[in-house]
Amino acid sequence: MLTPPDCLIIGGGLIGMLTARELALAGLQVSLIERGETGRESTWAGGGILSPLYPWRYSNAISDLAKYSQTVYPDLVQALKEETGLDVEWTQSGLLMLGCADIELATQWARQYGAELHLIKGSDVADIAPELSVELSQSEAIWLPKVAQVRNPRFAKALRASIDKLGVSVLTNTAAEKIIIDAGKVTGVKTTSGERLLANKVVLAGGAWSAGLLESVGFELPVEPVRGQMLLYKAQPDTVTRIILNQDRYVIPRRDGRVLVGSTLEYTGFEKQTTNAARIELEAEAQRIVPALAGFPIEAHWAGLRPGSPDGVPFIGAYRDIEGLYLNTGHFRNGVILGPASAAMLASIIVDEPFELSSAGYLY
């Protein structure tokens, strides 16, 4: 019989893989099980903006994690490149936000978090983003020049290659069916093929599906799927030069010229179909922001399920009702930016090391 790992992680999205990487770097034997292939769910579907949209509208719990991650991202992507040879295209495109009514709140937040924020208007808006429509160039805008992005499907690939190299045992096409609990303590996981994988420490990082696994053993967690649809334009480089946000719809320029347009926010359960209505609306909004996009084809349209949580604050830490079970889930709209911080925080809890942020606000 195989020796059980020190820690078994359920879910191979970016949150599960970042957690596996942190724990492996801390010297633990780690296994990870993934129902399908790693990094193919919300992690793949997302936009990769390394900031919450309108960050001042979130609680300090989100801003603290975001700031920590923003600080470590350049080193993380460099380390991944050295470990795996994969470039995740970390790019400081900046984030231009149009028509924000809450400018006072924004400037206060920027002071508190040391974020570079500029209020701009008139020709300065068009100078920063010449691609912007004439109509929208007239509005006042908030400019965060330091905001970066990563190409999230590549990020997931690099994370997978990294954890493989670090010796994490990754079982794909293996779904956890039930968390096994004995006298209030976790002892492992039963898979859908009936196999029992033993472990005294289990991390639940199942994204939008996390609550279902707890429900199956009579416990609960307020995480629910929230669908987001995106479009991808096959444009030429420099058609769009900045991440531009207007009324909750945004365009993200990739280095090869492709432009992502997102995203809807829909409470439609586990339904992952795309809809024609969303396609029409996203297409119209994209072309309202950058009229030149009308000259390029739409290459893809997809939907992903975000792990929605109350106020978007993820659950990180020991689960209150089951000893040995840990949560790292519920990152909602911000898993790519919050992921490195939340993985480092959870790893510090599991290995009992100090961490620079308090985990008190993320417990359940």
Ligand X SMILES: Cc1cc2nc3c(=O)[nH]c(=O)nc-3n(C[C@H](O)[C@H](O)[C@H](O)COP(=O)(O)OP(=O)(O)OC[C@H]3O[C@@H](n4cnc5c(N)ncnc54)[C@H](O)[C@@H]3O)c2cc1C
Where along the sequence are the contacts to ligand X (CB under 6 A)? 10-16, 33-36, 40-43, 45-49, 175-176, 205-209, 213, 228, 230, 262-263, 304, 306-307, 329, 331-337
Which is nearer to ligand X, 239 or 334 (by Cβ)? 334
Which is nearer to ligand X, 174 or 239 (by Cβ)? 174
The distance of closest approach from Cβ of residue 4 to ligand X in the complex, given in angstroms and rounded to an integer, is 17
The distance of closest approach from Cβ of residue 216 to ligand X in the complex, given in angstroms and rounded to an integer, is 9
The Cα–Cα gap between 228 and 8 comes to 29
DSSP strand pairing (169-171 vs 185-191):
unpaired
The Cα–Cα gap between 27 and 123 comes to 54
Which is nearer to ligand X, 43 or 239 (by Cβ)? 43
The Cα–Cα gap between 191 and 175 comes to 5
Strand (E) or helix (H) holding 227: strand 224-233
SS3 111: helix
The distance of closest approach from Cβ of residue 355 to ligand X in the complex, given in angstroms and rounded to an integer, is 20
Which is nearer to ligand X, 48 or 94 (by Cβ)? 48
Which is nearer to ligand X, 132 or 160 (by Cβ)? 160
Encoded tokens for 134: 């004439």
Residue indicated by tokens 């040879």? 85
The distance of closest approach from Cβ of residue 5 to ligand X in the complex, given in angstroms and rounded to an integer, is 15
Which is nearer to ligand X, 160 or 333 (by Cβ)? 333
Residue 326 exposed, middle or buried by CB count within 10 Å (0-12, 13-18, 19+): buried
Which is nearer to ligand X, 137 or 159 (by Cβ)? 159
The distance of closest approach from Cβ of residue 185 to ligand X in the complex, given in angstroms and rounded to an integer, is 20
The Cα–Cα gap between 19 and 14 comes to 8
The distance of closest approach from Cβ of residue 114 to ligand X in the complex, given in angstroms and rounded to an integer, is 20
Sorted by sequence, the CB contacts under 8 Å of residue 144 that are 6+ apart come out as 51, 94, 95, 96, 97, 115, 116, 117
The distance of closest approach from Cβ of residue 117 to ligand X in the complex, given in angstroms and rounded to an integer, is 19
- C-alpha distances in Å from residue 322, one per residue of 187, 217, 319, 325, 350: 10, 11, 6, 6, 14
AA letter at 216: S
